[in-house]
Structure 1
Amino acid sequence: MRLLPYLAAPLLIASVPAGAQEPARPTLLLRETIAGMPRGERQEVQVLTATIAPGQSTVFHTHSFPVTVFVLEGTFTLDLQGRGTAVVPAGQSMIEPPNVPMTGHNRSVTEPARVVIFYVADPGTPFLHPVQ
């Protein structure tokens, strides 16, 4: 009867004593099927933050691999060459495509925009490539 312990285990894990808090669970913010992810045996994961001052913009640039951006505060605006403009408010996220020239902006005149950036790339790949 080796199966009995394995069958009982999910019941023990799922049961929560009366008055106890439910376990913490993540909330899905964004799910998107994308192309262009690194395919090597190893990848480098970078988590970055940026504060974009009111009226400030990033350099005109590309990324070698997709970039995920989560907006903590303010509104982040991204102009993608040939693809239009994305406006992402606080609490939302987006994926920037690889190899597309772009510029990020904070169009507010009073509030900073704060973002968290997740970048998965082949080891040693620069985060961005300025476009002249």
Structure 2
Amino acid sequence: MKPQTQASRRSRKVYLASLLAAVLSAVSSPAALAQAPGQAAPKLVLKESVQQMPTSDTQEVRVLTASFKPGDKTVFHTHRSPVTVYVLEGQFTLDLEGREPVVISTGQAYVEPPGVKMTGYNRSATEPLRVVIFYVSEPGTPFLDPAH
């Protein structure tokens, strides 16, 4: 295998970003959303340009779920690449170091930036929280890095 140059990695990033943008714009076009009875159609929830995506020849796509009881929180952590969180049930509060807290409600999504220290919370005293987490990383990369 020949080593990748900075230019070829940049080209791969541009290609992946363009492909993702094309898929998202096709999904959000009126023709793509028109559906016959009995056919399901996707609904665009979030469209965002991101930086710091992995650049190796192979990446892992990971989809996780997490359930939070009332009052539960994540560890204080960072991510090495962007992480998208979609809220299935409840309200997810994300405290990002140096930024205002972000509250994501049922049916909403948010892209957590890489390299930012954060903690996620279910601030409800009575309601559960369920989320789906999606990210792309270099193979074998930990989902998060505990922060201090």
- TM-score when scaled to structure 2? 0.74
Equivalenced residue count is: 114
1:48-102 deviation per Cα after TM superposition (whole angstroms, max 9, x unaligned): 0000110111100000000000000000000000122110001100000000000
Candidates 88, 101, 126, aligned match of 1:85: 101
Structure 1: which 5+ runs fail to align? 1-13, 15-19
Larger proportion of helix: 2
Residue identity over aligned pairs, in percent, reads: 61
What is residue 145 of structure 2 aligned with on the other side? 129
What amino acid does structure 2 have at the position aligned with 1:95?
V
Work out the CA distance in 1 between the residues paired with 2:99 and 2:141. 24
Work out whether 1:33 is the aligned partner of 2:52: no
- TM-score when scaled to structure 1? 0.82
What amino acid does structure 2 have at the position aligned with 1:43?
Q
Larger proportion of strand: 1
1:84-127 deviation per Cα after TM superposition (whole angstroms, max 9, x unaligned): 21100011000000000000000000011000000110001000
Work out the CA distance in 2 between the residues paired with 1:97 and 1:53. 25
The CA deviation at 1:22 is 6.1
Work out the CA distance in 1 between the residues paired with 2:44 and 2:38. 18
What amino acid does structure 2 have at the position aligned with 1:129?
D
Work out the CA distance in 1 between the residues paired with 2:126 and 2:140. 37
What is residue 112 of structure 1 aligned with on the other side? 128
Higher RCO (CA 8 Å, separation ≥ 6 residues): 1
Between Structure 1 and Structure 2, whose CA radius of gyration is higher?
A: 1
Aligned pairs (5 A) from 1:33-112:
33-112=49-128
4+ residue runs of structure 1 moved beyond 4 angstroms?
Answer: none
Work out the CA distance in 2 between the residues paired with 1:121 and 1:27. 25
Structure 2: which 5+ runs fail to align? 1-30
Work out the CA distance in 1 between the residues paired with 2:38 and 2:47. 25
